[in-house]
Structure 1
Amino acid sequence: MTKEASPPVAIVTGAARGIGKAIAHWFLARGQCVALIDIDEPKLAACAAELAAGHGDRVLAIHADVSDRAAVQRAVAQVEQAFGSIDALVNNAGVAVFKPAADTSFDEWRFVMATNLDGAFICAQAVLPALRRAGGGSIVNIASISGLRASTLRVAYGTSKAALIQLTKQLAVEWASYGVRVNAIAPGPVETAMAKAVHSPEIRADYHASVPLARYGLEEEIAAAVGFLCTRDAGYVTGQVLAVDGGFDAAGVGLPAFRTAVG
């Protein structure tokens, strides 16, 4: 099969559930090949089996920790061996510790940084040679609205996502000459299984009051934004942070009561 006839190939980290799984489905629904990387082996196997049921040999599951440089390098080599090339990387793998700054241990701080920041850097470096061989490609980092605005209980998570946004810009500037575009998505509150499980009615009500669109985002909406940034339609977009957040960041400190009054 010639390069021109081969479907594009994307790597999605943290792909076993939630937003990562939705992103993988977006690529597969458009005829692309997807390598799923996740540290949770049982959930990864279940996700891969579900996706492969409709997309056959275009799905590759790799159990790996993105903070382990050697494991990531092996995973990237496995993707190239299976599919022949790599066109996109979505750094979605992430963890969180929600504690007051004074109570967050250094080990907890490093746990978050190792995955959210180090992992994205390790994966980007590992994939770069393949993207260059392909003549260019796209990297999308999944940041967070917490990387754009401060919030309580997020000293490690928010700082890691703010650093990820800066990493995005840095790589975009340095790797543009290789034809590699690097952008970030900053989701607001998203209707994931975890959010449904841990967000109390009070938290949900506060989010609905604070987000101008007055709802949680959908995993599929985040996936669609990621997918767009990996297409040729976004060929002149690099170094950008797209907040997919229902207007949450734009509202800033605006009081929900004022927005209600306008309505």
Structure 2
Amino acid sequence: MHHPIDPKIDCVFKALLGAESNRALLIHFLNAILGRDLPAPITWVEILNPYNDKEFLDDKLSIVDVKARDARDCLHQIEIQLLINRDLLARILYTWADLYCSQLHSGQDYSALKPTYAIWLLGENLLADSSDYAHDFRLRDAQARPLLDHGGIWLLELNKFHTDQIQTEQERWLKFFKDGEALDSSALPSWMQTPEMTQAMNTLKTFSEKERAYHRYQARQNYLREQRGIQRHLEELRVEAEQERAKAEQERAAKEQALQEKDAAPAEIERLKAQLRDQGRPESGDNGSRGFE
């Protein structure tokens, strides 16, 4: 029986790019995303945290990113994030820095550090001030001069990706992750007619056709839905609390202003009385009559 499978669900995502049997897919994906920014195409990788279906699907706290080392000893991290939260940018930067720093062991010099690349596929929009779907962030100055060419962070916002004319391998992968759940393996569109996409669809079919794998996929999907619901609820509570704090602050400020105006009222009245008295007081030497000319 065929079931639609979303490649963005973390267990499917990691099976696609983190399984030893799909090592060729990972290499192709990395070259598709990073190709123009690499000194040479990647031809070999070691998956540092390979996907294990039993361990992953039975553990709700499984690590869902994919980490790999290529032939130049460069490190790669690939992660899917379906729900955006206010701390995500800090988390993205921290995990890149943590992976970069993990290269040095006791007694090693800084010369041992190698470029580190982080790729994040995002299910929701993160950068509201840009309509572009692809972003790369590296250490550069205002003139775009690199401080050190040691990789960076690539963000791919799937919701902003809109094209039916696939021209690059990067676009092929992004369309697969965005629309993969709606694809029919028996009648694939022309843009899916490549060896890599065929292999990717075979991975989806594994989750679709094997009942045990599919039920585990469903359980994982339901768990992630619950987590997203909880996170959204907490975010709504946070927004409501901030609005209540802002309202309370406005009311407090209004009360303080009213008290200040009340305290200032007697002094203002005395000032106005004095002003009126000064306006009605005769000028010096003026006895109220014009005198004789």
User: So what's the TM-score if we normalise by structure 2?
Assistant: 0.32
User: So what's the TM-score if we normalise by structure 1?
Assistant: 0.34
